[in-house]
Amino acid sequence: MKQLLIVLILFKMTTISKAQVDRALYPFESKYLQLDAGKMHYIDEGVGDILLFVHGTPTWSFLYRDFIKAFSATHRCIAIDHIGFGLSDKPTDFVGTPEAHAANLSKFIQQLELENITLVVHDFGGPIGLGAALQHPNRIKQLVVFNTWLWATQEDKAAQKIDRFINSRLGHFLYLRMNVSPKSLLKRGFADKRKLSKTVHQHYVQPFPNKASRYGLLRLGQALVGASDWYQSQWEQLHQLETKDWLILWGMQDEFIPSTHLERWRKRLPQAQVEIFECGHFVQEEVTQEAIAAIRAFLVTQ
């Protein structure tokens, strides 16, 4: 009985809800859209041209909180939580591939009748967001890309190594039982660990309080190589978006996505504006104000 009580207390402490989100950090009204896969949580603040923020793993719309604060005075800022992440539903039977997430985002764009969109993407949010954008190229005005990719990963040795780990018994255990992705891997994504406070870190850990809530993390991780053919198919369709205005914001000390990926983007999009920062994978957290300033300048000049 005593052990059960301890488990229940720990569960209560690690479960995140709207009431437990620090409203000083994330002072937004939560909204939900019912999709076939579950309820998708999103933020919709401000009026004007649309900034649509798309996160990767293991983050959620919280990643863009300071960007929403900065831009909602002049723009309509919309930030989603993918199914399986943040404050969205976490069904254990959702396939959770980037293609499925892109389909959800496509439905979201259609149901909210979004037009004239500046799409902002990061990490797995790159293929997800761009995959959705390729279904609605006429709705996209311009694009802002943080560290990400959109091409086949099957032959990438670093990706193969990660894939072997995630698909191993140990990988499953660490992802589902130990919550390793937000607890440990997220930290590794920071070049300057001082930029990740305990309070902020907990906002990334708490959405995944138990095994049942962590399948979204596992399945998206498994898709790093598992969705290789789909990434390549999107890359081959990118000509539908190439003539748009692009801004690339890149953390050069990224342990997960190397600077060689940036060069591939530059080669494909030679007209894109590029800003580089001496930080890690989570540019939004490490150089927040610099990234906001770069986006603001980009929006003004377009």
pLDDT in tens, the chain (302 residues): 444 333 333 333 334 565 589 989 999 999 999 999 999 999 999 999 999 999 999 999 999 999 999 999 999 999 999 999 999 999 999 999 999 999 999 999 999 999 999 999 999 999 999 999 999 999 999 999 999 999 999 999 999 999 999 999 999 999 999 999 999 999 999 999 999 999 999 999 999 999 999 999 999 999 999 999 999 999 999 999 999 999 999 999 999 999 999 999 999 999 999 999 999 999 999 999 999 999 999 998 76
User: What confidence score (pLDDT) does residue 106 get?
Assistant: 98
Gyration radius of the chain over CA positions: 18
Q: Which residues, other chains included, contact 6 with Cβ-Cβ below 8 Å and sequence gap of 6+?
A: none
User: What confidence score (pLDDT) does residue 1 get?
Assistant: 40
Pick the CATH number of 36-301 from 3.40.1050.10, 3.40.50.1820, 3.30.420.40, 3.55.40.20: 3.40.50.1820
- Distance, in Å, from the CA atom of 58 to the CA atom of 300, rounded to the nearest integer, reads 31
User: What confidence score (pLDDT) does residue 250 get?
Assistant: 98
- Distance, in Å, from the CA atom of 98 to the CA atom of 56, rounded to the nearest integer, reads 10
User: What confidence score (pLDDT) does residue 301 get?
Assistant: 77
User: What confidence score (pLDDT) does residue 300 get?
Assistant: 86
Q: Considering the entire predicted model, what is its pTM?
A: 0.93
Q: How many CB atoms lie within 10 A of CB 87?
A: 22
Query: 46 near 10, Cβ under 8 Å?
Result: no
User: What confidence score (pLDDT) does residue 20 get?
Assistant: 80
The tokens describing 9, both together, are 């207390």
Give the HSE-up count for residue 128: Cα atoms under 13 Å, Cβ half-sphere. 30
- Distance, in Å, from the CA atom of 262 to the CA atom of 278, rounded to the nearest integer, reads 14
User: What confidence score (pLDDT) does residue 4 get?
Assistant: 35
**Domain ranges for the chain:** 36-301
